[in-house]
Amino acid sequence: MTFRSLTLTTVTAAFLALSAAAQAADAETVKLGFAKCAHCLPMALTPDLAKGVTIDAINFNSGNDVLTALVSKSIDVAQVTYLHYITALDKGFDVVAVSGQVNGGSEIVVAKGIDLKAGDWDGLKKLIAERKAKGEPLRVAASRGNAQDIHMRGAFQKHGINVNKDVQFVNIPNPSDHAAALQRGEVDVICTVEPFASQIRQTGVGSHFDLPYDQAAGNLTNLIVTRSDVIKDHPKAVEATVGSVVALVDKLKADQTVWVDVINKYTGMDKAVATEALKNATPDYAMHKDSTLAIATMMRDLKYISNDVTAAAEKNLNYTFLEAVTRKPKSELGF
């Protein structure tokens, strides 16, 4: 290589580097919040997958915290759940769904010493009746407001169990505290989220009872939402953010190694636990309209919300950005 060609190559490389840096500097910054669970934590990878936007990914303890940050305008985009979306609409908050992310992740586990076989709902009902007759109601826990809570309530209702009357419901806001609550004997049954469910099973603190997907919500869990003002003022940034989520879903489908690594990084859990957790997780960027409306109806039936928000739930599913990124019609994206 001659001195002249080397010089030109060096100058070209420097120009491209400066151009890339200039584009990055010009890109809008989006603050994106996500929760601490196995199917939420991959959102930490979106900054590296982003094109045309700079993503500042912020980790919160729970989906409730993420939703609070969104409606208070501390962040611009949030990874929450379908339940949070419906709850927010019931409260009159400005939320617009723009993409799915990962579904699944819920599991009902029973404490060590509770003699129940997996899937034995008749046995569970018998135990609940016995405890109720003794004046010692079965203590059932979840993180109120999370997807696992509504999954559990819907499954219990389908099997003729009233969570508000037949058992003692215990709210444990932070899912990372679920294992300790079981171990200390504070609760008998928990509907928890991965990777904490796998941690509970693998450490022997509790055992598997059921996956609570036999109800209107199915296994729908995560949803990417924003506000109408963010869409109005920064449409290209929202589209680019959705693009990073679509790229993330494709990446998770192709290689779970990065998923295991990010769970290990944020929770400190053994990679074997993280790997086990991913057996109950399904990457999916579609937004499932009919199931969303069924969730809204079920939540009202359970008196989880006060109003009929089915019309708002359908209206605020915005497929525009998914259609632009995937080049698919919304009929192929869950509409």
Q: What is the pLDDT along the chain (335 residues), one digit of tens a residue?
A: 443 444 444 444 444 444 444 444 468 999 999 998 899 999 999 999 999 999 999 999 888 899 999 999 999 999 999 999 999 999 999 999 999 999 999 999 999 999 999 999 999 999 999 999 999 999 999 998 788 999 999 999 999 999 989 999 999 999 999 999 999 999 999 999 999 999 999 999 999 999 999 998 899 999 999 999 999 999 999 999 999 999 999 999 999 999 999 999 998 889 999 999 999 999 999 999 999 999 999 999 988 899 999 999 999 999 999 999 999 999 999 99
Spatial separation of the C-alpha atoms in residues 80 and 171, rounded to whole Å:
18
- How far apart are alpha carbons 164 and 134 in whole angstroms? 18
pTM of the model: 0.86
User: What CA–CA distances, in Å, run from 269 to 182, 201, 202, 204, 315?
Assistant: 18, 13, 11, 15, 40
DSSP class of residue 146 equals S
The whole-angstrom separation of Cα 161 and Cα 153 is: 9
Compute the CA torsion angle 142, 60, 324, 256 (nearest 10 deg): -80
CB neighbours of 303 closer than 8 A, spacing ≥ 6? 164
Helices (H), 27-62: 46-49
Q: How many CA atoms lie within 13 A of 304 on its CB side?
A: 29
The architecture (CATH level 2) of 106-210 comes to: 3-Layer(aba) Sandwich (3.40)
Residues of the chain with CATH 3.40.190.10: 30-103+219-332, 106-210
Radius of gyration of the chain (CA): 22
Question: What does the alpha-carbon distance between residue 142 and residue 153 come to, in Å, rounded to a whole number?
Answer: 10
CATH architecture of 30-103+219-332: 3-Layer(aba) Sandwich (3.40)
Residue 104 pairs with which residues in a beta bridge? Answer: 281
pLDDT score of 26: 63
Q: Residue 289 CB: number of other CB atoms within 10 A? A: 17
Q: What is the pLDDT of residue 28?
A: 95
Non-local (6+) Cβ contacts of 159 within 8 A are 121, 124, 125
Output the pLDDT for position 18: 40
- The candidate with the shortest Cα–Cα distance to 101, out of 295, 253, 311, is 253
Query: What tokens were used for 300?
Result: 């009202």
Residue type, 324: A
Query: Do strands 281-283 and 102-104 pair parallel, antiparallel, or not at all (unpaired)?
Result: antiparallel
- Roughly what angle, to the nearest 10 degrees, separates helices 235-254 and 257-267? 110
**CB 59, CB 44: distance < 8 Å:** yes
**Pairing of β 96-100 and β 77-81:** unpaired
Q: How far is CA 92 from CA 88, 305, 308, in A?
A: 6, 11, 12
User: Which candidate, 281, 282, 313, 284, places its Cα nearest to that of 297?
Assistant: 313
Find how far residue 205's CA is from the centre of its chain: 24
* Cβ–Cβ under 8 Å, residues 174 and 62: yes
